[in-house]
């Protein structure tokens, strides 16, 4: 198991800087609930998001399993953050990187990849494919395109973050133990949303085992995802309805990463976009945290969980990434208006709508 490396001052490379993130007490949300609510500051990872952990683990797994050899190509389908982590890691290891991302993703993420298109010394600039956003059961879905791309190449690995258990393992071995150590084994609740499900599954698995089942683990789900109703109905999969502004989360199926642990999840919370956007602005104003929408959704869920568990509890959630990648949307009046969300932001906080 990887040692927790809080305050470790020097690391060898990008991979060495992944993980070991701070746990930030969210003072205003804590005060409002009588609980101690903490956010795991995953935006502090070197690629800027929680997904650096999974990216590192899937690459290490491909190396260990002999699926990739020097100068090979890593291919992945990603909503963005995993691709960013992979692009960095591939550069430092001399691999080429091919990313398939649905064309509905925020343009600044796409621009970030285009920056990576500038060839590096090792020639490992990523190639970015932007297929139309279609459901997983459509052969043109970005994940299937990534798989087919890897199959066409020599010495290439499709890292398949959704169903590759190395993703969940990253959180069993790093995120979960870090949280447990940071709170000296006093974790009453953990809640987060899912994209691949790696974070929820891995952290819940670790905390449930360490606490002998005492830590309550909840899913937080946005509109358009099927997992809330799946957990509430104890295993019935319904069709998606609706959509959400939260990027990188929401899921239409039970991924392989979720399957072994979904029965550990005690309950699910449905968080509408209005609540997430209100929290996003509150977190900026009251906690000084400039976060992406999935982080804000997670904090709303931690607040709701605190009300359910009652005062005096210690509850942890995940601050997945920062707002910088999404600022042209989340702080734009035109964009917020197009989503009908301006009125969800309290009037005294609307001064932050600067674009
Ligand atoms: N938040 C953001 C911003 C993400 O990019 C992702 C991953 N797509 C998640 C949350 C969800 O993480 P996981 O894949 O571990 O479920």
For 27, the token pair is 């003072």
Q: Where are the domains of the chain?
A: 15-44+169-335, 50-158
How far apart CA 276 and CA 303 sit, in angstroms, is 11
246 lines ligand 1 (CB under 6 A): no
Enclosing H/E stretch for 167 = helix 165-170
Number of Cβ within a 10 Å radius of residue 48: 21
For 188, the token pair is 């009453």
How far, in Å, is the centroid of ligand 1 from the Cα of 79?
8
How far, in Å, is the centroid of ligand 1 from the Cα of 303?
20
In order, the DSSP letters of 51-87 are: HHHHHHHHHHHHHHTTS--TT-EEEEE-SSHHHHHHH
Q: Look at ligand 1, atom 3, and give the residue with the nearest C-alpha.
A: 248
pLDDT in tens, the chain (355 residues): 555 555 557 999 999 999 999 999 999 999 999 999 999 999 999 999 999 999 999 999 999 999 999 999 999 988 789 999 999 999 899 999 988 888 776 666 666 666 565 544 455 556 777 777 788 888 888 889 889 999 999 999 999 999 999 999 999 999 999 999 999 999 999 999 999 999 999 999 999 999 999 999 999 999 999 999 999 998 887 766 788 999 889 999 999 999 999 999 999 999 999 999 999 999 999 999 999 999 999 999 999 999 999 999 999 999 999 999 899 999 999 999 999 999 999 999 999 999 9
How far, in Å, is the centroid of ligand 1 from the Cα of 81?
7
ipTM of the complex: 0.99
Helices (H), ranges, 226-326: 227-232, 273-282, 293-309
| 59 alpha carbon, distance to own chain's centre | 17
Question: Is it true that 15-44+169-335 and 50-158 share their CATH fold?
Answer: yes
How far apart CA 204 and CA 251 sit, in angstroms, is 18
Half-sphere exposure of residue 104: CA atoms within 13 angstroms, side-chain side: 13
317 lines ligand 1 (CB under 6 A): no
Confidence at residue 138, expressed as pLDDT on a 0 to 100 scale: 86
For the CA of 292, the nearest atom of ligand 1: 3
Architecture of domain 50-158: 3-Layer(aba) Sandwich (3.40)
Q: What is the CATH number of domain 15-44+169-335?
A: 3.40.50.1100
pTM, two decimal places: 0.94
Q: Among 168, 196, 201, 251, name the best residue to mutate to test ligand 1's pocket (greatest count of ligand atoms within 8 A of Cβ).
A: 196
Q: Write the CA distances from 20 to 50, 175, 217, 260, 345, integer angstroms.
A: 11, 8, 21, 26, 33
pLDDT digits (tens, 9 = 90+) for 126-164: 677 777 778 888 888 888 988 999 999 999 999 999 999
């Amino acid at each position: 198991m990887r040692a927790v490396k809080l305050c470790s001052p020097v690391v060898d490379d990008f991979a060495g800087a992944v993980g070991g993130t701070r746990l930030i007490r969210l003072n205003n949300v804590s005060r409002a609930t009588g609980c101690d609510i903490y956010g795991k500051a995953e935006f502090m990872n070197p690629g800027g998001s929680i997904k650096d952990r999974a990216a590192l683990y899937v690459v290490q797994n491909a190396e260990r399993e002999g699926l990739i050899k020097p100068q090979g190509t890593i291919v992945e389908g990603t909503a963005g953050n995993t691709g960013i982590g992979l692009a960095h890691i591939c550069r430092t290891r001399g691999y080429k990187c091919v990313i398939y991302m649905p064309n509905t993703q925020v343009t600044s993420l796409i621009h970030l990849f285009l920056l990576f298109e500038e060839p590096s010394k090792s020639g490992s600039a990523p190639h970015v494919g932007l297929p139309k956003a279609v459901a997983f059961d459509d052969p043109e879905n970005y994940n299937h395109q990534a798989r087919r791309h890897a199959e066409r190449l020599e010495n290439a690995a499709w890292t398949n973050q959704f169903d590759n258990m190395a993703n969940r393992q990253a959180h069993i071995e790093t995120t979960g133990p870090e949280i447990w150590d940071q709170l000296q084994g006093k974790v009453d609740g953990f809640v987060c949303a899912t994209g691949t499900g790696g974070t929820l599954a891995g952290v819940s698995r670790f905390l449930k085992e360490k606490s002998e089942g005492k830590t309550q683990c909840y899913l937080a789900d946005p509109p358009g995802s099927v997992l809330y109703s799946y957990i509430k109905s104890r295993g019935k999969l319904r069709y998606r309805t609706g959509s959400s502004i939260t990027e990188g989360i929401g899921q239409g199926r039970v991924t392989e990463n979720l399957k072994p642990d979904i029965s550990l999840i005690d309950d699910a919370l449905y968080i509408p976009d209005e609540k997430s956007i209100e929290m996003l602005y509150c977190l900026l104003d009251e906690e000084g945290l400039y976060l992406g929408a999935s982080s804000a959704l997670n904090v709303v869920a931690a607040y709701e969980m605190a009300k359910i568990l009652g005062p005096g509890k210690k509850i942890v959630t995940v601050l997945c990434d920062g707002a910088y990648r999404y600022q042209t949307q989340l702080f734009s009046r035109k964009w917020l208006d197009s989503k009908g969300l301006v009125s969800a932001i309290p009037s005294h906080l609307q001064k932050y709508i600067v674009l």
